[in-house]
A and B are shown apart, each in its own frame.
Chain A
Amino acid sequence: MNVRNNKPLFEMLDPPPGGLTRLQARIRGERRRKIRNWTLATAAAGIAAIGLAVLLLLPNGGELPLLPGFESDLLAIQLGLIEAPEESVSIRPDLRNEYAVLEIPTGDDRVVFYMVGSR
């Protein structure tokens, strides 16, 4: 196509060298990224599955042990962040003929033991 003097309107420029090599490197990079993403996704799914299985296999229908909570409550009580529970132990009225509860004092006012036994 010519506009003036039968010369081509646009001259054809040569692209910078090494384009194909660069493209091949980028495609290799894409492949690696895809494999890495896939591996990460699989690992995450695996960890999630293991976590779920652990929760389901726990005793008491999947309830978590109370120990960690107990420890943190005790620590919080010791630090004065929360108050120690004040309620005492009592036997349900319908079971009072069968069981008895005895309060055992300790040297610490904040700690009380109860002994529960059958009559």
Chain B
Amino acid sequence: MSESDLEALYTRLEKPLYNVLYRRVWNRETARDLVQDAFVRLWKMRRKVILETVEPLIYKIALNLASSKLRRKKVLGWVPFDAVSGAVPDPGDTEEALSRSQERGRLQEAVMALPDELRNVILLCEFSGMTYGQVGAALSIPEGTVGSRRNRALTLLKVHLER
């Protein structure tokens, strides 16, 4: 993998990867750093990288880095989540902004309540644009399991949001 391959990949995957990682760590700076770390890690192993399968690989690296980060912070007893209401400034009137902010907060709670294996599946299916097969490769699970876990995650999210 050349440097220009890496840059092209970064340009294409930065946004979806950032969105997946943000929903794992709920902190914009940490998510941004994790995206960078994942690509640096990929660059270090570039001689072994096969371009055709690089997409699941970068998600796998990134999710592993996020898990390690969360584990470390759990051990330290401190996880700096972004304030839910201030995560993204809302345009429009205050009432709509408040409503959107509350909705985000509930969604964050719902996503955080999911077990890890369901959360990773739903996030990858939502943001990565990868096929079930690729998501399965990224998470080291069979393709069929991706579909069933995604459905289970959606059901749990729906239940949580309709409470």
Question: Which residues on A are within 8 Å of B, measured CB to CB?
Answer: 1, 3-4, 9-16, 19-20, 22-24, 26-27, 30
- In contact, B14 and A15 (Cβ under 8 angstroms): yes
Q: Which residues of B contact A (CB under 8 A)?
A: 3, 6-7, 10-11, 14-15, 18-19, 22-23, 28-29, 31-32, 35-36, 39-40, 43-44, 88, 107, 125-127, 154, 157-158, 161-162
Known A10-B107, A13-B19, A23-B40; contact A1-B10, beta-carbon cutoff 8 A: no
**8 extra interface residue pairs, beta carbon distance < 8 Å, beyond A23-B36, A27-B6, A30-B40:** A10-B19, A12-B19, A13-B22, A13-B28, A14-B15, A15-B18, A19-B35, A23-B39
User: Given A3-B158, A27-B40, A27-B43, are A10 and B28 neighbors across the interface (CB < 8 Å)?
Assistant: no
Min CB distance A36 to B, Å, is 16
Bound together, the chains give a CA A57 to CA B67 distance in angstroms of: 57
Q: How far is the CA of A78 from the CA of B44 in the complex (A)?
A: 61
Query: Known contacts A10-B23, A10-B127; is A15 also within 8 Å of B36 by CB?
Result: no
Q: Chain B binding site: helix, strand, loop or mixed by DSSP?
A: helix
Residues of B with C-beta under 8 A to A3: 154, 157-158, 161
Q: B5 CB to closest chain A CB, in angstroms?
A: 12
Instruction: Name the residue of chain B whose CB is nearest to the CB of A20.
Output: B10
Q: Are B88 and A9 in contact (CB under 8 A)?
A: no
CA–CA, A97 to B159, complex, Å?
113
**Beta-carbon contact of B3 and A9 below 8 Å:** no
Q: Which 9 A-B pairs have the closest CB atoms?
A: A15-B18, A16-B32, A3-B158, A19-B14, A26-B40, A15-B14, A23-B39, A10-B126, A13-B19
- A22: B residues at CB distance < 8 A: 36
Indicate which residue in A1, A4, A16, A20 contacts B28 across the interface (CB closer than 8 Å).
A16
CB atoms of A13 and B88 under 8 A apart: yes
A12 vs B127: C-alpha distance when bound (angstroms): 8
